[in-house]
Structure 1
Amino acid sequence: MAGCLLCLAVGSAAALAADAPPADRPAWLEVHRDDGRVIASLPVAEGEAWCLEWNHSVTGIRVQDCYRNRAGQMVLERSHQPDFAAGLGHVPGRGRQVSDGEGGYWIEDIDEPVPDNRYRLRVGSPEVDHRLLHDGHRLSLSDQAAGERVIIQLRP
């Protein structure tokens, strides 16, 4: 159902974007399979944020990497990690670690532009459940492409 809601939102936004002057058109957050097929396409206006969320493959804790569209550039702003599980942790000089008030922590002010506005992801199993969070919607990539390599990109 979430996928259908996103489809409607994408369709409505596309219709609005077609009537808008070029400067007012949103960028598009797209997820492509290796064969080029698009499995998600979301309008992301200048200044808007979204997160990639998943369950850690060893501990099952929920992890988030959060991005923002800054003038058409995908920028990793912050990361939420409720635990110091395998592969997680703050790297000195890369943002600052602050408590989330619930035993976990945020790494704030990472502010790293993503090279070429894109990165590859091996989508996890349904237990890992890689999902995009945007504008109150949740879209599971694992439901559509578990075990596959995808490209996540911001296309201005």
Structure 2
Amino acid sequence: MTRGTRGGLLALLLSAPAVALAAELVATRETGEVIARFDVAPGAGWCVLWHHSVKGFEVSDCYENRGGRMVLVWSHLPDFAAGLDHIPGRGRQVTDGQGGYFILDIDEPVPGDAYVLRPGSGPVDHRIRMGDRVVSLSAVAPRERVRIALVGTDDE
């Protein structure tokens, strides 16, 4: 390979778009039973929603598929109620104009692209929302250990 050819090949590789990684968001019981599955295109996002157990308002933690990785992007907390707070240095807190706040620019990869949640029962109603589709984890697995994972479509 000549020096000019190598330079042209390098320029082609550097200008090529990054490989997009298709993935699925999968929620499973400890038994491995799938209770929710969503196709997640590169750059697409979803939120885990629930109602605060004391105040009853809805809290949101929102994620994105970034290069096949689960990344926590932002949260919405409608009040400074028990257990809810902004950790300085972890995103930036801005008002929602209604007494609550958003934590934006969290941009925190989730270790192992998965975590375990124990959905609350009744009015807590832990849910996953992607676009117009909402699945209530609390309705199908209240108080159970549920693993929420972003997996590559080749990983299963």
Q: Does 1:119 align with 2:121?
A: no
Matches of 1:43 and 1:143, distance apart in 2:
21
Taking the aligned partners of 1:92 and 1:129, their CA distance within structure 2 comes to 28
Structure 1 gap ranges (5+):
1-22
Compute the TM-score of the two structures, normalised by the length of structure 1.
Answer: 0.83
Q: In structure 1, how many angstroms separate the alpha carbons of the residues matched to 2:103 and 2:79? A: 12
Tell me the matched-pair count.
134
Q: Which residue of 1 aligns with 2:132?
A: 136
Residue type at the aligned position of 2:108: E
Q: Could you tell me which residue of structure 1 aligns to residue 78 of structure 2?
A: 82
Residue of structure 2 in register with 1:46 after alignment: 42
Check 1:33–1:141 CA distance in 2 against 1; reply closer, same or farther (3 A cut). same
Q: TM-score, normalised by structure 2?
A: 0.83
Please report the RMSD computed on the Cα atoms of aligned residues, expressed in angstroms: 1.2
Which runs of 5 or more structure 2 residues have no equivalent in the other structure? 1-18
User: 1:63 maps to what in 2?
Assistant: 59
Mapped partners of 1:136, 1:102: distance in 2: 24
- Choose 1 or 2 for highest CA Rg: 2
Distance 2:21 2:150 in 1: 13
- Partner residue of 1:9? none
Provide runs of 4+ in structure 1 moved above 4 Å: none
Residue among 92, 95, 100 paired with 1:104: 100
Deviation of the 1:152 alpha carbon: 0.2
Tell me by how many angstroms 1:25 deviates: 6.8
Sequence identity percentage:
56
1:104-125 superposed Cα distances (whole Å, 9 cap, x missing partner): 1100011100000000001110
In 2, the alpha carbon distance for the partners of 1:92 and 1:24 equals 32
